[in-house]
Structure formats: C-alpha cells, structure tokens
Chain A
Amino acid sequence: MTGLFERLGASTLNSITTLGRAVLFLLRVIAGCGEWVRRPGLLMRELYSVGVLTLVIIVVSGLFVGMVLSLQGYYTLVDFGAEQSLGVLVALSLTRELGPVVTALLFAGRAGSALTAEIGLMKATEQLAGMEMMAVDPERRVIAPRLTAAFISLPLLAVIFTLLGIIGAYIVGTALLGVDSGAFWSQMQAQVSFGDDVLNGVIKSLLFGLVAGWIAVFNGYDCMPTSHGVSRATTRTVVVTSLAVLALDFVLTALMFD
C-alpha cells in the first residue's frame, strides 16, 4: 500500500520537475530569439521545413473536412428547411473550432514529431554537445528558430485549413446538394463576425502554435540520448500535444464564446 503512495508521489514530483525544467527552457529559448533576428536565414529554413512541408496534409485535410461538414450539415438543416444556412454552419465550425484544433493535431503529427526526432537525434549523436563546445549555443542556434517557426506557421496553416474547408463545403453544397450559391455566401457574410469568430480562431491557433512547438522542441532536447529515448520522446510529443491542444481548446472556448 505504501509502495503505491510512494510511486504516486515520485511520479508527481517527477512531472512537476519536468514541467519546471520545460518552463525555464522556454524562457531561455525566448530570450535567445535575438540570434535569428540577426540572421533571418536561420528562421527561413525552419519555416520551410516546419511550415511549407506541412502544407500538403493541411490542404488535403481541410478540403475533406469541409466537404464532410457540408454533407452532414445539409442533411440536418434540410429537415428544417434551413439549408440556406449551410455556409454559416460550415464557416462558424471551421473558424472557431475545427480550423485551429484539427490543424494543431495534424501539425503535431507531421511537424512536431519531426522536430522532436531531429533534435533528439542531434542530442544522441553529440551534435548539440559539439555545438556547445564550438561556443555555439544550441538553444539559440537550433531551438529558438524552430520554436518560432512553429509559432508563426501554425496560425497561417490554420487559416489555410479553414479557407480550404469552406471552399470544399461550397463545392459539395452547391454542385452536389443544390444549395443556392448566393445564399451560401451572403448568409455567411451576414453572420460570421471578424472580431468574434475569425480573430478568436487565430488567437487560439497562435496559442496552439506556441504549445505545439514548445512541447516538440522540449521533448527532443530533454530526451534520453538513445534510440529508445528518441522514439519515446517522439511519441510523447504527439500524445501530449494532442491532449494539451484539446484541453486548452476547451478552456479558450469557454472564455471566448460565452
């Protein structure tokens, strides 16, 4: 019985120290962002590998999510004779929730896992230690540009996801289901507010970008420098990011849309 409490206590303490390390790490990395401000090339390269290479999965998923949303929404709305509101339904779901959240989940799987594995392998092969001994701080040279790239890319990807979702919904709604194209757009225009809906969605994805990037780079930097350690860190990145994004989304939604 005491053994159980001991283990519970030990794992709680362990989680809290890890969280403390992660927060200090984040502060140091943010303080080290001056490096890429002086040398924007560092950031550009990361923006490409973190953002641009994630574009394909975001575009394709966005289209399909919008198309499915359109189908499902239509069958519910048509019972009430409200299929004219399809555009509103799709746009609100995407800007407020699905855009930021699904993008963050896909981002964790595509870019977050890649970041963790890359940094973890650099640690396991002593590349980070080597850099330190060459008087180059890996937190500034390697970590800060990657975290910043995640923070910048995720909101942009979420906007693209939302846009393509709406386009997908429009195609299915008007071409397949026969919703009037004018009604689709005008209802959306009348009922979706830029400040309340679009902007709040972007704020959400900014926070998700910070969280997803932070979890990914910290797990890589903090991993056990072995092949097993890197694999565990990569898995942890995807799991922890997904849970953190979903939990954070609940809190933000409760705060934003009362």
Chain B
Amino acid sequence: MTANAPAPANSVLIDINALHYRRGGRLLFAGIDLAVERGEVVAIMGPSGTGKTTLLRLIGGQLSPQSGRVEVAGQRVDALSRRALYRLRRGMGVLFQSGALFTDLSCFDNVAFPLREHTELPEALIRIIVLMKLEAVGLRGARDLYPAQLSGGMARRVSLARALALDPEIILYDEPFAGQDPISMGALMKLIRQLNDALGLTSVIVSHDVDETLSIADRVYVLSDGQIIESGTPEALRQSDSAWVRQFIDAQPDGPVPFHYPAASIADDLGVDSEL
C-alpha cells in the first residue's frame, strides 16, 4: 500500500500530509504527517511557540498551508469553497483557549447561538437542547450568568457546551488545561474523555500539560521545530529514549532544548577579557 492510497472512508477522519506552513519568514511546519482516526482522542504536544494553535487553525480552514494537504472527512480543507468550508465547520466544534464566549450574551444564549444561526428549531426545542448541553458540562444552573461572572474553568465548560450544540463529529481543544486550578482541570479531563466516548466524537487536543494530556489521550504526537519527533501511545511515549522527549516529559529546564536563548558568549557581552 503506497502512502497516497486513499484511506478507508470510515477510519481516518483528519489526515495531514507533508504539511508546510511558513509565517513571517519562520517555517512553523516543515513537512508534517498526522492522522486522526474516528473515535480517538489524539493529543498534539510540544512547547509553546511550536505552532500548535496554528495547526488547529489549519485543520479548521482558517489558514491555508503553503504546501501539503489537510483533509477532514476526505475533503481538502484549503481547496473548499466558502460554502463547503462552512458546511464542514458545522460538523466541527472548537474550544478556544480563551473560551471565546460572546461577552454580551448569557451562558444560555451563548450555547443557543449556533442553534439559532443554523437551525429553524422552535424556541421551546432550543431550550431543551441548550439545557441538556449545559447539563452535560454540569452548568445547567449557571444558564443566566454572563461570561464575566464565570471562573476560567466554568467559561471553558460553557464554551464546550456551545461547541457541542450542533452535535459535531470532531472537537478541537486548544490548550484546554492551561491556567486551570486542579479541580477544573480534573473536571475538564473527565469531560473530554467521557464526551468523546459517550457521544462517539473524535477529539484533537493541543496542549503542553504533559500529565493531564497523557492520561486521557489514545495517541500522542510530539512537535518540535516544525517536525513530529515522536508519536505513539502515552505508554510508548513515557518509555521513549529520545533525549528531547525525555526533557519535555520530565520537565527538565536544560537539555536538547537549551535553557539559554542563543547569544554571544557572556564574556563578550559584558566586555570582560575571558583570558584572565
């Protein structure tokens, strides 16, 4: 079987091939291959600034790659017409790092927003759907609060309910654990895994929180310097003998990723004669 043979329609949902993406003179992705199968929770990990969020935007079609292919459900995302892209996005939920809730709408109206935009459902039915989605994230009681009244973890859960409103096939999570207290973190981890299995979703998590992510993912890709340097199950990753992966997983300050930003020698910088 060659690499270009079409994957069986029912297994690979997101297929990324030889992806190159350059921004502002910097090569963020230098040939990435990545596949997400239906029903999986796949994590993409790497240090800040490796373009993990950019990768999500490429999958969602908000950015276009300079070369390579990004396919979702068998369709090339960057080659779709606007109408087709918007149809595809209805089957995709995104949880933004900031939550991206509409600040002038209540939680209820935030979750109802995609339903009111895309369906002609009567208000009574919308109410039932919204309350069910809020119940799923444990925030049915917070329906009348505004985003400014929510804690960071609650805002992310409301945002998750909104992402689920149209019953998507795929959910993309952008740094779901960043800046969360341990309780919210636990709640989010449980939700991501349970929703994925209960609703038959496919989840892509972009994160740099090692322990949390490894504990819920089925498969992990590790990104560094525009390349995927390691992939596999969380167990395989924990056993990895790559120095880079070890540094990342064990949170070592120095190693293949140096502690010091590249610089001239300190003696030159301070004007000291290093011969003395």
Contact = CB atoms under 8 A, between A and B. Distances in A.
Q: Chain A interface: which size bin?
A: 10 to 19
11 contacts: A126-B97, A126-B100, A127-B102, A127-B103, A129-B96, A133-B60, A133-B62, A133-B93, A135-B90, A135-B118, A136-B113
A126 B101 CA distance: 8
A141 B86 CA distance: 14
B87 A135 contact: yes
Interface string B197-213: 00000000000000000
Given A127-B101, A130-B94, 14 more contacts: A125-B103, A126-B97, A126-B98, A126-B100, A127-B102, A132-B60, A133-B92, A133-B93, A135-B87, A135-B114, A135-B118, A137-B82, A137-B86, A141-B117
A126 B62 contact: no
B193 interface: no
Interface size class of B (residues with CB under 8 A): 20 to 34
B75 to A, nearest CB: 14
Contact of A136 (B92, B97, B103, B114): B114
A133 B85 CA distance: 10
B89 A134 contact: yes
Q: Which are the 8 A-B pairs with shortest beta-carbon distances?
A: A130-B100, A126-B100, A135-B89, A133-B94, A135-B86, A135-B90, A134-B114, A126-B96
A95 B82 CA distance: 45
Interface of A: 125-127, 129-130, 132-137, 141
Interface in B87-136: 87, 89-90, 92-94, 96-98, 100-103, 113-114, 117-118
Contacts of A132: 60, 62, 89
Contacts of B93: 133
Contacts of A129: 62, 96, 100
Secondary structure at chain B's binding surface: helix, strand, loop or mixed?
mixed
A125 B98 contact: yes
Contacts of B100: 125-127, 129-130
B270 to A, nearest CB: 31
Contacts of B86: 135, 137
Contacts of B94: 130, 133-134
Contacts of B118: 135-136
